[in-house]
Structure formats: C-alpha cells, structure tokens
C-alpha cells in the first residue's frame, strides 16, 4: 500500500470526513474524555456444544471461550471497518493492520509476573489458526524469554531523566514516530485489547482507555455462569452465559454503527461455527 503525505507508519489518514467527525478530535483531543461503555450478555448454549466437539479429539491446547471471543471480535472489526479507526494528534486514521493484544499471567499468584501477547490477524485466519497462534503466544509469554516491548521498557527504566523521557515518548507517540521495537507488543497500539477477567473470577466491568497509543476498542470478558433468559411470554430459563464489556472511543463512529457492531459480535458468539470461516468472509444477520 502506497503511503501518502499525512499518513502514519501504522495508519492511513482519513481524508473524507463529515464535519462532525472532523471537528470532534479538535474539540475533544483526549481519548479518555470520549469513552463510551457498552455491556451485554451472551448465551453460551451453542458455544459450549461447539467447544465440546472441537475438544473431542483432545488437542494439546484446548479450545476455550477466550479464543472464541478473540476470534469473534477480530472478525467483527474486519466486517465493521470503522472499529479499526483511531485518532492521534487530532486526526483520524484507518489502521493498516488488524491486531489484538492481551496480557498473560506467567503464574497465578500475587507475585507472578506478566507478559504482553499480540495477535497479528490476516484475512484468511479462522478460529483454528488463531487458536494455534494464541497457544504459541501464551507458551512464549510463560517461558523465561521477554517480549520486545518489555525488554525496551527495562532498558528505558535505567536511563536518568524520566520526566524528559516521558515528554519525548509522548511526542513521538502522537506523531507515530515511536521506535517499532518499543511498541512491538504494546497492547495500546492494537485494534483491540482484551482482558479475561473471568479467568480470575471477576465479572466483566468497565475498563478505561488511555491517551497513550492508538487503541480504540477495549473488551473485558466476565466470568462464565448461569443467568436468567426470558422468552416473549416471560418464561425464564437459566443458561450458561458470559457478560462482555466494551469500552470504545465514541469519536470514531456513531451510536447506530456501534449498535450494529455489538449485534454482529453477539451473533457470532451465539453461532460459533461461523468462526471457522475466514475473517474476511461476510456475515449477514
């Protein structure tokens, strides 16, 4: 893809904007001042049956809900391209890549370290290929090796004059000039950041965004448990489910666009066989 004047290394400048979306970054330049939070429940009846079939052959690394959510949100962003927009230095860009990031706890203890994992998705990716890449990433993160961003942070920590360093890196970040090695696994330079709160026994909740980086979507995954579902006649059944919490930058699209996006994400998770199709294969609902 050819790079034009005004483009960044990580994104293409959106040159045709309506007046509202042109003005909003000028009036509200900080991402943290423009958060919108959406929380919704997903029925896991079909997902549990689907996962049981996928795991019937006892793969080395089991398929799980987190992998379904990560694949579904990547497919959703691929189908809903504005979800891969970001605002930096008061301009709106379309991200060049489709990426997801999450933190891996090396050991589940108070003193266990953390490592950063990043999935660089391709159009032809499916649940199976993303499952394999998550396994590779988790295995690396739980080894004694350090990811590139952590190594860079360790180096920066040894340099004196932290306030000047902070001002410099914020300037570089605003213009997209940060060294690639320093942000190679930085979650806030990705299309979506995920946190699996259910794995530590917590419900999905609000998670703030940051003014650092380019991330416009944050997804919190809650604990799996039975919740009541009501039919049109008011009858209730208890079903296994999870809650998802999405924090988004409201400057990149409008409420109607977000509503259709959430509807697609929920549909994919409640019809998980669609995740075995390539990310770029269109889904009609």
Domain boundaries, the chain: 11-276
User: Tell me: the pLDDT tens digits for 251-260?
Assistant: 999 999 999 9
The Cβ of residue 244 has, within 10 Å, a number of other Cβ atoms equal to 22
Q: Looking at residues 100-118, what average pLDDT do you find?
A: 74
User: Tell me: the pLDDT tens digits for 179-202?
Assistant: 887 888 889 999 999 999 998 899
Predicted local distance difference test score (pLDDT) of residue 57: 87
pTM of the model: 0.89
**Pairing status of strand 217-221 against strand 192-196:** parallel
% of the chain beyond a pLDDT of 70 = 90
Predicted local distance difference test score (pLDDT) of residue 30: 93
Predicted local distance difference test score (pLDDT) of residue 161: 66
Q: What topology is assigned to 11-276 in CATH?
A: Chloramphenicol Acetyltransferase (3.30.559)
Would you place residue 112 in the very low, low, confident or very high pLDDT band (cuts 50, 70, 90)?
low
């Amino acid at each position: 893809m050819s790079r034009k004047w005004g483009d960044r290394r990580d994104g293409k400048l959106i040159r045709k904007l309506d007046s509202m979306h042109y003005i909003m970054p000028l009036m509200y330049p900080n991402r943290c001042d423009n958060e919108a939070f959406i929380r919704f429940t997903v029925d896991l009846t079909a997902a549990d049956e689907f996962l049981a079939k996928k795991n019937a052959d006892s793969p080395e690394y089991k398929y799980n809900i987190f992998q379904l959510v990560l694949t579904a949100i990547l497919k959703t962003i691929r189908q809903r391209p504005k979800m891969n927009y970001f605002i930096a230095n008061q301009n709106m860009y379309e991200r060049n890549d489709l990426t997801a990031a999450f933190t891996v706890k090396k050991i589940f203890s108070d003193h266990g370290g953390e490592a950063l994992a990043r999935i660089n998705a391709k159009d032809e990716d499916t649940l199976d290929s993303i499952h394999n890449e998550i396994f590779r990433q988790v295995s690396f993160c739980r080894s004694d090796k350090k990811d590139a961003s952590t190594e860079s942070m360790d180096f920066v920590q040894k340099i004196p004059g932290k306030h000047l360093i902070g001002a410099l890196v914020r300037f570089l970040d605003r213009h997209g000039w940060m060294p690639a090695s320093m942000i190679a696994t930085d979650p806030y330079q990705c299309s979506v950041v995920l946190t699996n709160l259910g794995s530590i026994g917590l419900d999905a909740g609000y998670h703030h965004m940051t003014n650092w980086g380019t991330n416009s979507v944050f997804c919190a995954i809650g604990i799996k448990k039975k919740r009541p579902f009501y039919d049109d006649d008011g009858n209730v059944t208890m079903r296994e489910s999870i809650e998802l919490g999405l924090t988004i930058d409201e400057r990149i699209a409008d409420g109607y666009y977000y509503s259709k996006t959430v509807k697609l994400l929920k549909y994919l998770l409640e019809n998980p066989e669609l995740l075995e199709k390539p990310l770029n294969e269109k889904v009609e609902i």
